[in-house]
């Protein structure tokens, strides 16, 4: 029944604790946003009081600051450095372990998969789209990723429609937000006009079952109107835009554009943009053994197309320059991803812009390339 909705209802801010308790009693590990180390991150949540109450974020290229809001909004921020990717496609995951037996044979132990299902609280629309993209990457082919599939299968997603756009957000341009349209079990819109409340809608049978257990009242036209206005205001506030018109072919036509040299002079090849991106999925494996040589293991770790080693094929790296690595990242994300998976690899969350130490902005880089084609067309 994914996608089937019942009539929206209204729950009070205090019902968030009931929601967390209901999920916990149903066996979920409950994860959500919290303030830690000067940022809003995703971690275990034991009570709604741990949410970032009264906090917002200010974001721009290479800059992120938390700021106090004048209200008690629970979800009055955009997205932070974390994404849900870390719980589904883990930064480090042991794949197997092998032990040498007394008779000299090797016993290979398969790594157990996660048993406890997870509930994600506060999933933004762009993040739902990012999860859908990674579902296709890890589970869409003939060989599903066992660890990802085990974690993803039971996950309960509580979406929150955005009431504040970040300075680097551009989901409206990518058609991925700011309102959640599918892929959630429950969707909430926080309403701060008058009574502090949430418009709540279910998107699945189990979402409806959880919602039925919360104290609630039917939504009025005024509630629905306030929710529509809040999301429309967020769309109008979006910090960035990206013109997606003919984007795949635009990039394919411009593989030798001088802008790649320009961006290479600024890019540090640090890979931050790929680590914070909710859709990037590059990984490598590391084999280690203990000092006695009796136990060995293989571990999968996140990698990045910005590292020289990542594209090392016999004889050396096929992308030895920063120019080649940045071009690979951006043309894959915005262009060839469409050939590979049928959608863009970018959901417009803006994290790569905010967390780039030198403020390189994917929307600006694309516009610079598009602008020269537009100029050429005018002078032709």
Residues that bind ligand SF4 (CB under 6 A): 267-273, 276-279, 306, 333, 346-352, 356-358, 360, 362
Minimum CB–partner distance for residue 345 and ligand SF4 (Å): 7
Q: Which is nearer to ligand SF4, 95 or 264 (CB)?
A: 264
Between CA 335 and CA 132 the distance in angstroms is: 18
Minimum CB–partner distance for residue 191 and ligand SF4 (Å): 27
Minimum CB–partner distance for residue 309 and ligand SF4 (Å): 15
Residues 6+ apart with CB under 8 A from 25: none
Residues 338, 344 contacting (CB under 8 angstroms): yes
Minimum CB–partner distance for residue 273 and ligand SF4 (Å): 3
Using DSSP's 3-state secondary structure scheme, residue 310 falls into helix
Residues 111, 147 contacting (CB under 8 angstroms): yes
Q: Which is nearer to ligand SF4, 151 or 327 (CB)?
A: 327
Cα 71 from chain centre: 26
Q: Which is nearer to ligand SF4, 270 or 295 (CB)?
A: 270
Between CA 54 and CA 74 the distance in angstroms is: 7
Q: Which is nearer to ligand SF4, 20 or 267 (CB)?
A: 267
Minimum CB–partner distance for residue 124 and ligand SF4 (Å): 11
Q: What tokens were used for 6? A: 């019942």
Q: Which is nearer to ligand SF4, 93 or 349 (CB)?
A: 349
Minimum CB–partner distance for residue 356 and ligand SF4 (Å): 3
| HSE-up of residue 94 (Cα within 13 Å, Cβ side) | 14
Q: Which is nearer to ligand SF4, 120 or 198 (CB)?
A: 120
- Taking the CA atoms of residue 360, residue 54, residue 50 and residue 131 in that order, the dihedral angle to the nearest 10 degrees is -40
Between CA 246 and CA 244 the distance in angstroms is: 6
Between CA 262 and CA 151 the distance in angstroms is: 41
Q: Which is nearer to ligand SF4, 123 or 362 (CB)?
A: 362
Q: Which strands, in side-by-side order, build the sheet including 217-218?
A: 39-44, 29-36, 118-123, 156-160, 186-191, 197-202, 9-12, 217-218
Between CA 241 and CA 153 the distance in angstroms is: 34
Between CA 24 and CA 118 the distance in angstroms is: 9
| HSE-up of residue 349 (Cα within 13 Å, Cβ side) | 32
Q: Which is nearer to ligand SF4, 15 or 238 (CB)?
A: 238
- Residue 245 is classified by DSSP as T
Minimum CB–partner distance for residue 107 and ligand SF4 (Å): 41
Minimum CB–partner distance for residue 160 and ligand SF4 (Å): 18
Minimum CB–partner distance for residue 91 and ligand SF4 (Å): 16
Q: What tokens were used for 156? A: 């309960």
Rama region for 46: left / alpha / beta (φ>0; ψ in -120 to 50; rest)? alpha
Minimum CB–partner distance for residue 22 and ligand SF4 (Å): 31
Q: Which is nearer to ligand SF4, 183 or 207 (CB)?
A: 183
């Amino acid at each position: 029944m994914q996608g089937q909705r019942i009539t929206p209802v209204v729950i009070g801010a205090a019902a968030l604790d009931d929601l967390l308790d209901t999920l916990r009693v149903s066996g979920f590990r409950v994860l959500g946003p919290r303030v830690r180390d000067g940022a809003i991150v995703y971690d275990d949540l034991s009570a709604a009081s741990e949410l970032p109450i009264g906090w917002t974020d200010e974001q721009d290229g290479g800059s992120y600051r938390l700021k106090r809001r004048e209200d008690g909004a629970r979800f009055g921020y955009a997205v932070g450095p974390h994404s849900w990717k870390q719980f589904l496609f883990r930064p480090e995951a042991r794949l197997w372990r092998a032990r040498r037996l007394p008779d000299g044979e090797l016993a290979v132990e398969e790594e157990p998969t996660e048993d406890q299902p997870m509930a994600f609280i506060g999933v933004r629309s762009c993040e739902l789209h990012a999860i859908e993209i990674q579902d296709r990457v890890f589970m869409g082919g003939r060989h599903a990723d066992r660890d990802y599939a085990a974690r993803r299968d039971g996950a309960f997603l509580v979406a929150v429609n955005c009431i504040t756009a970040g300075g680097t957000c551009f989901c409206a341009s990518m058609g991925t937000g700011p309102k959640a349209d599918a892929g959630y079990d429950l969707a909430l819109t926080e309403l701060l006009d008058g009574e502090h409340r949430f418009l709540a809608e279910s998107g699945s049978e189990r979402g409806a079952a959880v919602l039925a257990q919360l104290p609630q009242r039917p939504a009025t036209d005024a509630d629905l109107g306030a929710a529509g206005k809040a999301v429309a205001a967020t769309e109008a506030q979006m910090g960035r835009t990206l013109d997606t018109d003919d984007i795949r072919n635009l990039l394919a036509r411009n593989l030798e554009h001088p802008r790649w040299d320009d961006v290479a002079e600024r890019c540090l090849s640090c890979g931050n943009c790929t680590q914070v991106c909710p859709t990037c999925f590059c990984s490598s494996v590391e084999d280690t053994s203990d000092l006695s040589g009796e136990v060995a293991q293989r571990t999968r770790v996140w990698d990045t197309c910005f590292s020289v080693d990542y594209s090392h094929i016999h004889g050396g790296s096929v992308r030895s320059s920063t120019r080649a690595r940045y071009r690979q990242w951006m043309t894959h994300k915005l262009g060839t991803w469409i050939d590979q998976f049928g959608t863009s690899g970018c959901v417009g969350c803006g994290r790569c812009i905010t967390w780039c130490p030198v403020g390189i902005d994917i929307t600006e880089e694309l516009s610079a390339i598009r602008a020269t084609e537009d100029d050429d067309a005018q002078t032709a």
